[in-house]
Amino acid sequence: MNLALFDLDNTLLSGDSDFEWSQFLIEQGVLDRELFEAKNLAFYEQYKAGTLDIHEFLDFQLKPLSRHARTVLDDWHEEFMRRKVRPMMGDKARQLVAKHHAAGDVCAIVTATNSFVTAPIAREFGVAHLIATEPEQRDGEFTGNVEGIPSFREGKVLRMENWLAEHGWSWGSFDQSWFYSDSLNDLPLLDKVRYPVAVDPDDTLRKHAQKQGWTIISLR
């Protein structure tokens, strides 16, 4: 049995769904452009630099979910998928996922982006397992808070290990394991798998991958 793990933003997607969701809400007039756009860009630059305070970002990202009914959010998300997400889903990424599925590998998307944004994207890729940051819900509506450990940096490793345990697995359950990622933020999880793969990597990850002899690929 083999395990294939995929980061989502800037890996399977040729863009960042977290960033684009906020931009989408700004374009819809749901969020004030003057107040939110600069902050959204600033958080994105911090993420790329490896300096993001995940809890500060999640407060920014999840609070808007709490201001609108779930049915309204779901309608917006359908439009978001059409306008923003599907254009970022390239053939090479779809083919990579299909290759692992065809080999019978256990496939999972492991992302820092919250599950409201990412669950429909995972379904679109045909990936049944999603480990994502979980927004807290009460009676089916979002509270604006995070539930449990954010799936970010070392948190991705903790969330993965909890997920493995829930299925009665461990890292040793798999003959081979891959993790595909673009980001320096994913170094803790990349170090856990047998075959770490840098996908269109940022400069820090590229240098690390070259030093370690890791595979580097492009899905663009």
Residues annotated as part of the active site? 7, 9
Q: Are the beta carbons of 131 and 108 closer than 8 angstroms?
A: yes
CA distance 23 to 30: 10
Q: Sign of dihedral through CA atoms 52, 54, 57, 61?
A: positive
CA distances from 149 to 44, 108, 155, 170 (A): 20, 18, 6, 19
Pull the structure tokens for residue 127: 């990936």
CA distance 155 to 163: 12
CA 40 remoteness from chain centre: 17
